Structure 1
Amino acid sequence: MNVPVLPVLAFRAQMEDISTGSDSDYSRCWIAWFLSSKGNEYFCEVDEDFILDRFNLTGLNNEVANYAQALDLITDNLDDDIQDELRGSLDVQARLLYGLIHARWIVTARGLAKMIEKYKRADFGRCPRVLCQQQALLPVGLTDIPYEKSVKLYCGRCEDLYSPKSSRHGSIDGAYFGTTFPHLLFLVYPSLIPPKSGPADHGSTNASGRDTADRNRRRVRDEPEVPPAEGVGDSISTASVALKVERYRPRIYGFQLNETAKLQRWQEATRDRQVSRLEELERRGAI
């Protein structure tokens, strides 16, 4: 039987974090302990009022085992006499429940405000693409269903996705952020949309960040160009490669953004015309 990789990695990271936390911190405030654990830097604190409003948790009881006890653990209302072995498994369910609540929280007005603070500090990292010039990233899920895809990082400048550098962050479930968050943030706060050219405007601009950017630019400038190996790519069809390119499609609550969808349809129509032209040239032997 094939075991999904994501749940195994996430469970292993969770168990490591449990062993590093003290029992006193764990029992005093579960959310504070969870947010302070290594690997959970992407999460923000969900207001207690939001968690206690059962309307906000509609449907989660069908997705989380031991839902009532997991909710009591998150809100620090769990009985102290619960068995230790049950607490360990219950903590995994509490993490799942908090993650799903977190995905709903960050698309509210107060949740967006908290995530903007983290975005401006570049807590989610910066785009590795050289021409994006250290643009701050935002977390996004490829699906809203837990245990399917890990979290990815969205760059509003090149509009592409990247994997987190840290393995701890890479094991976070993408459903804990959802498919809507970064695109809704830019829709609500259009002033935060990064420019497509020129220096990046958002995120911290401390000295260490400037030094890192300078080092990266020097490294790219100084690295010699490596010529392609002979014979490599001779038998590869350019048109077939172009057709296999996968594009990320921003969505809000499952629907594509109107302007972005129009632009992508135009881009894909242009690509299809170019692919047809390449196929014709390949048939003639011109390529």
Structure 2
Amino acid sequence: MLRRAVEDISTGSDSDYSSTWISWFLSSKGNEYFCEVDEDFILDRFNLTGLNNEVANYAQALDLITDQLDDEVQDELRGSLDVQARLLYGLIHARWIVTARGLAKMVEKYKRGDFGRCPRVLCQSQSLLPVGLIDIPYEKSVKLYCGRCEDLYSPKSSRHGSIDGAYFGTTFPHLLFLVYPTLIPPKTGPPLDGPSSANNNSNANSSEGGSKVRQRRGRGEELLPDATGTESVGEGISTASVALKAERYRPRIYGFQLHETAKLQRWQEATRDRQVGKLEDLEARAS
């Protein structure tokens, strides 16, 4: 990811830096998932507690984000500082989107479908939400969570797929639904997040790329099992082993699972384990 960030920076023109750093960052390709963090939030050092241990050249990276960096230092260390500034902004972003103002901005993007829509037919183009599977940077890339089928998906774009999941954190999707309960997707019927846009999206998919979507879903490319090394299920690959590697989003609020959600997930995982056991028995008999 760092290599890609440096490559993107090296291809930018001088005019890219004529505006503020944050506006340049948000307008860069691949950063469409991010929202603008209020400057007041960034300047309040209480909100940045602990980030100085996560980011090298923390003070200079913060000055770059807030457009207070000395021009001479900026020219000498532009490449490395931009990488650190991206990391710092991403970690600040994860804290910002769980505040009231940050959630409001992300809700607008969610309603517009900026994060993509679920590829499952029965989800009827339900809007997705970005989520991190771990809050530690450089561990896992961002995934997309569907509140309807409760599954995780990988972004279609490689640019989005290289975004660090820590920039959104493990709290955001579930907290959004707690704060905005009217946005909780129904399990049946049309989605609540803008039926007109969802219908347009569904029509476009059916007329232009319906067959491609079905083919991709059949090959397992859209559905995430964050399965190391296997993107498809075919001959010589155990269906049960792929099912066991499928990673689920565990809703947490600042690291703690909610009781009712945790109880439901234990039942869901027990049911899945029984199904996996049946698959293993069938495969054993077949072999």
Q: Look up the match of 2:256.
A: 255
Give the corresponding residue for 2:121: 130
Q: Is the 8 A contact 2:128 2:147 kept in 1?
A: yes
Letter of the 1:73 partner, please give it. L
Counterpart Cα distance in 1 of 2:214 and 2:140 = 37
Q: Counterpart of 2:263 in structure 1: which amino acid? A: K
* Shift in alpha-carbon separation, 1:242–1:137, aligned structure 2, 3 A: closer
Instruction: Give the 5 Å matches for 1:170-249.
Output: 170-203=161-194, 205-206=196-197, 208-215=200-207, 219=211, 246-249=247-250
Q: CA RMSD in A?
A: 3.2
The aligned residue for residue 34 of structure 2 is 43
Q: Which amino acid aligns with 1:74?
A: I
Equivalences for 1:56-205 in 2 at 5 Å? 56-82=47-73, 84-203=75-194, 205=196
Say if 2:240 and 2:279, in contact at 8 Å, map to a contact too. Answer: yes
| TM norm structure 2 | 0.81
User: What secondary structure does 1:119 align onto?
Assistant: helix
- 1:108-144 residue CA offsets vs partner (Å, 9 max, x unmatched): 0000000000000000001112211111100000111
Distance, in Å, in 2 between the alignment partners of 1:221 and 1:91 is 37
Gaps of 5+ in 2: 219-232
- The list of structure 1 runs, each at least 4 consecutive aligned residues, that deviate by more than 4 angstroms after superposition, is 220-223, 232-246, 270-283
Match of 1:265 in 2: 266
Aligned equivalent of 2:22: 31
Deviations 1:26-72 (A, max 9, x none): 14310001000111000000000000000000000111111111100
Give the drift of 1:251.
1.7
Q: CA deviation at 1:215?
A: 2.8
Q: CA deviation at 1:208?
A: 4.5
Assess, with a 3 A threshold, how the Cα gap between structure 1 residues 167 and 278 changes in structure 2: closer, same or farther.
closer
**8 A contact 2:133–2:249 mirrored in 1:** no
- Sequence identity, in percent? 81
Distance 1:198 1:23 in 2: 50
Q: Would you say the 8 A contact 1:135–1:202 is kept in 2?
A: yes
Q: Aligned-pair distance for 1:24?
A: 3.9
How many residue pairs match? The answer is 270
**SS of aligned partner of 1:13:** helix
Shift of 1:12: 3.1
Displacement of 1:14: 1.7
What is the Cα deviation at residue 236 of structure 1?
9.1
Counterpart CA distance in 1 for 2:256 and 2:237 is 36
- Choose 1 or 2 for highest CA Rg: 1
Q: 1:286 to 1:156 in 2, by over 3 A?
A: same
Cα contact 1:135–1:203 (8 A) shared by 2: no
Greater displacement, 23-32 / 201-210:
201-210
1:6 corresponding residue in structure 2: none
